[in-house]
Amino acid sequence: MADSDEEYIGEISEDEGESNIPRGSRGETVFRSKRRKHRGGAEWEVSRTWETLVEGADGTISSTVEGLLEAGKRKRLLRDTTPLQRGIIRHLILVLDLSQSMAEKDLRPTRYLLALRYAQEFVREFFEQNPISQLGVLGLRDGLAIRVSDMSGNPTEHISAIQSLRDQDPKGLPSLQNGLEMARGALFHTPSHGTREILVIFGSLLSSDPGDIHQTITTLINDKIRVGIVGLAAQVAICRELCDKTNGGDDTAYGVALNEQHFRDLVMNVTTPPATYSQKQTTSSLLMMGFPSRTVEAYPSLCACHSTPSRGGYLCSRCNSKVCGLPAECPSCGLTLILSTHLARSYHHLFPLMNWVEVPWQRASDSAVCFACGLPFPPVPPKEQWQVTEGQTKGMSVSSRYECTVCNNHFCIDCDLFAHEVVHNCPGCQSGVLTHTKPESQEVLDSMNISA
């Protein structure tokens, strides 16, 4: 999770466009930031990844480009599948910089509009990934922290609140300390079994604070609040220190956006639930929850949460009050009401799909097409050519085949990506089709499914 390098497709920053790189090499510069180790640094300016490209036998670079693309996809996939203890029930405050530095146009259309758009996408994706979490939005403007929307579990409220910011203009200076203090106040009452996080989208290079921000950092550490920052301009020392200290010495929570795509990736990375560091940080507890069924009445009646008349709704399984949307807390008896599908949505974080392994040419003849989608694989070349193609790019399969270690079926890169990022199921394992080599793995599969 920590390593989230991305490729930059088609995005060429302005200084590079003006420099005297010949036209033909534009495509190659695309891959330049592959090797970057540290985010937020400035070393991207001197990396020359186009020099690493090797011409193919036919004098073109298309094979290398394709290989790099595939390797890039694969790299993003290869995350750690160790089942970590993750904080599924999250409490997060999103702090948006609404100061005058957000009016800059280095990110198109402006930093302000782009940040608001990504913030809305973030809210949607956050609740997609963390359905039983709570979110609140704050803004930094004119040296003050302003409340944009309160802590709640309803994405539409936040999105409409962020939407209404579009009509206003960014102005004044930001105060990081005020924002952090207000966020700390909002997170103060959250229960101990959930995580407490702050995500700041910070476009300025300064923070005009009323007091000592280091004291705020200390109180944040005491309250076990983690802070992540996405910077838009350049690295700011206090931001790095803040992320470093509140994340237990891990400063990967601080990232500076290089371009629009990178900005989006940095923000979206936060939607994945964070790993829990120690046993002590959260006290786990057994939560009582209600699973109400939906009812539709013949005549509209008032719902207990908003007092608006509606026909459809969910009846609290303990006190039978009607709420109009889920997840919610019953307004009359306080029981957490949730759909079992909300819980199930988080299961893929808890039971992740194993990474698939590359298939060397030796075993490639087992399959001619992708098991899931039927895409034909490249044919197996004669044995003497095996060595030539091998060792091109790390992480990528020479035979374009990827194998599930449980069911031993071969898949193409697109299905690999799709299975790991979208479905979180292995088509082969779920279809019960096992190749002849492992007759005993059916039992393994069954026991896995039952334990899951």
Residues 220-259 within binding reach of other proteins (CB under 8 A) = none
Q: If binding is defined by CB under 8 A, does position 345 make contact with other proteins? A: yes
Q: If binding is defined by CB under 8 A, does position 452 make contact with other proteins? A: yes
Please select the residue that binds other proteins; options are 43, 171, 351, 387, rule is CB under 8 A. Answer: 351
Please select the residue that binds other proteins; options are 205, 344, 357, 388, rule is CB under 8 A. Answer: 344
Q: If binding is defined by CB under 8 A, does position 89 make contact with other proteins? A: yes
Please select the residue that binds other proteins; options are 47, 146, 157, 193, rule is CB under 8 A. Answer: 193
Strands 134-141 and 90-97: parallel
Closer residue to other proteins in complex, CB, 141/410: 410
Q: If binding is defined by CB under 8 A, does position 277 make contact with other proteins? A: no
Q: If binding is defined by CB under 8 A, does position 396 make contact with other proteins? A: no
- Give min distance, CB of 278 to other proteins, in A: 13
Distance CA 312, CA 300 (A): 8
Closer residue to other proteins in complex, CB, 10/249: 10
Closer residue to other proteins in complex, CB, 11/241: 11
Give the gyration radius of the chain's Cα atoms: 25
Q: Scan residues 138-157 and list those touching other proteins (CB under 8 A).
A: none
Q: Name every residue whose Cβ is closer than 8 Å to that of residue 96 and which is 6 or more positions away in sequence.
A: 115, 116, 119, 137, 138, 139, 140, 148, 162, 165, 201
Q: If binding is defined by CB under 8 A, does position 385 make contact with other proteins? A: no
Q: If binding is defined by CB under 8 A, does position 113 make contact with other proteins? A: no
- Give min distance, CB of 69 to other proteins, in A: 5
Distance CA 160, CA 235 (A): 31
Please select the residue that binds other proteins; options are 24, 422, 437, 443, rule is CB under 8 A. Answer: 422
Q: If binding is defined by CB under 8 A, does position 294 make contact with other proteins? A: yes
Annotate 83-121 with DSSP letters as a single string: ---B--SEEEEEEEE-SGGGG--SSSS-HHHHHHHHHHH
Please select the residue that binds other proteins; options are 46, 296, 394, 443, rule is CB under 8 A. Answer: 296
Give the interface size with other proteins as a residue count (CB under 8 A).
Answer: 76
Q: If binding is defined by CB under 8 A, does position 433 make contact with other proteins? A: yes
Beta-carbon count within 10 A of 1 CB: 13
Distance CA 322, CA 312 (A): 9
Answer whether 178's CB lies under 8 Å from 144's CB: yes
Q: If binding is defined by CB under 8 A, does position 275 make contact with other proteins? A: no
Nearest of 206, 155, 152, 157 to residue 177 by alpha carbon = 206
Positive or negative, the CA dihedral 244, 231, 8, 14 is negative
Name the token pair of 221.
């550490």
Q: If binding is defined by CB under 8 A, does position 117 make contact with other proteins? A: no
Give the angle 439-443-448 at the CA atoms, nearest 5°: 130
Closer residue to other proteins in complex, CB, 185/376: 376
Q: Scan residues 56-85 and list those touching other proteins (CB under 8 A).
A: 62, 65-66, 69, 72-73, 76, 85
Nearest of 90, 183, 93, 94 to residue 131 by alpha carbon = 90
Please select the residue that binds other proteins; options are 42, 354, 373, 388, rule is CB under 8 A. Answer: 373
Q: If binding is defined by CB under 8 A, does position 135 make contact with other proteins? A: no
Positive or negative, the CA dihedral 102, 105, 106, 112 is positive
Please select the residue that binds other proteins; options are 291, 324, 363, 435, rule is CB under 8 A. Answer: 291
Please select the residue that binds other proteins; options are 144, 221, 324, 339, rule is CB under 8 A. Answer: 339
Using the contact rule CB under 8 A, the part of the chain among 169-177, 238-246, 364-372, 382-390 near other proteins is 364-372
Closer residue to other proteins in complex, CB, 87/170: 87
Please select the residue that binds other proteins; options are 2, 9, 354, 388, rule is CB under 8 A. Answer: 9
Q: If binding is defined by CB under 8 A, does position 303 make contact with other proteins? A: no
Q: Name every residue whose Cβ is closer than 8 Å to that of residue 401 and which is 6 or more positions away in sequence.
A: 358, 359, 364, 367, 377, 410, 411, 412
Q: If binding is defined by CB under 8 A, does position 16 make contact with other proteins? A: no
Alpha helices in 95-201 (DSSP H): 111-129, 155-165, 176-187
